[in-house]
Structure 1
Amino acid sequence: MKTILTTLAALALTTTAAFADPAEGRWRTQPDDNGNTGIITITMCGNMLCGTLTESRRGNGEVFTSENVGRQIVWDMEPRGNGQYRSGQIWSPDRDQTYRASMDLAGNQLTVSGCFLVICRDQVWTRAN
């Protein structure tokens, strides 16, 4: 009986990992208007993706304390398959503005687009270790 329970527990952990979304994980942003970068941790929030700023770095790579660490940056991002995510929102700390957003995943690069009316701004985030 103990062997069966151990096997079932291992299977449950393996199954959970198998269903992880490919965009989940830690992503380093491009520098913002101030030259700072961030680490955004993307996770599943229900059946959508969301992302939280978990680390801030100056242009020289120095980690610094930001009032925005811990704040949700990406939310309501709908996985559409084939590395495409749509219908989300993204907040830009350097501009204190929220935009309609989409993301496209290609390998270890995540192209994040934020749009206001018909004007869009893209950033390429890279997977962080």
Structure 2
Amino acid sequence: MGRGLKRAVCLGAVICTLAVAVGADPLVGLWASPPDGKGQTGIVQIKPCGDAYCGTLIKAFDPNGKQIVTKNVGKRLLWGMKPMGGGLYGEGRVFVPIFGRDYPAEVTLSGTRMTVKGCAALVCKAQKWRRAQ
């Protein structure tokens, strides 16, 4: 392969990679949840899931920051989150492990923070998650 062709192939690969990175939705990635009632935290991986976004708990930590194994690691905690514009994702569901149920939910992004809000009847609760490194 000639030198010019090698450069063209490399440049094409770089441009394709940048196009994918620029087109990536800001919701996609790793998010750290705040402590639950037991002081445990988790890392949720959010990625495309059909025409929406889903989030799966991939790691859990005890109050001292030590990684632990729980029955919820590997569970889908968020699903059906559709972009609504302006950093809002709606029409989704959130699974609340302490209740063993899922509820209607929405997510709002603001920089490296994400508010996850779930509602049961007229009662809504929200948590602030942060982007994980």
State the TM-score, normalizing by the size of structure 1.
Answer: 0.92
| Deviation of the 1:73 alpha carbon | 0.8
State the TM-score, normalizing by the size of structure 2.
Answer: 0.90
Listed as ranges, the matches of 1:24-103 within 5 Å are 24-103=28-107
Distance 1:96 1:88 in 2: 17
Q: Which runs of 5+ in 1 are unaligned?
A: none
| Deviation of the 1:36 alpha carbon | 1.1
| Deviation of the 1:126 alpha carbon | 1.0
Distance 2:36 2:97 in 1: 9
Aligned to 2:7: 3
Runs of 4+ in 1 over 4 A off after TM superposition: none
Aligned to 2:132: 128
Q: Is 1:34–1:94's contact at 8 Å kept on the other side of the alignment?
A: no
Deviation digits for residues 44-91 of structure 1 (CA, Å, limit 9, x no counterpart): 123311101010011221210112211111111001122111010110
For the pair shown, which has the larger CA radius of gyration, 1 or 2?
A: 2
Two-structure CA RMSD over aligned residues (Å)? 1.3
Aligned residue-pair number = 129
Q: Is 1:41–1:53's contact at 8 Å kept on the other side of the alignment?
A: yes
Listed as ranges, the matches of 1:13-32 within 5 Å are 13-32=17-36
Report the identity percentage: 36
- Corresponding residue SS for 1:22: coil
| Deviation of the 1:101 alpha carbon | 0.5
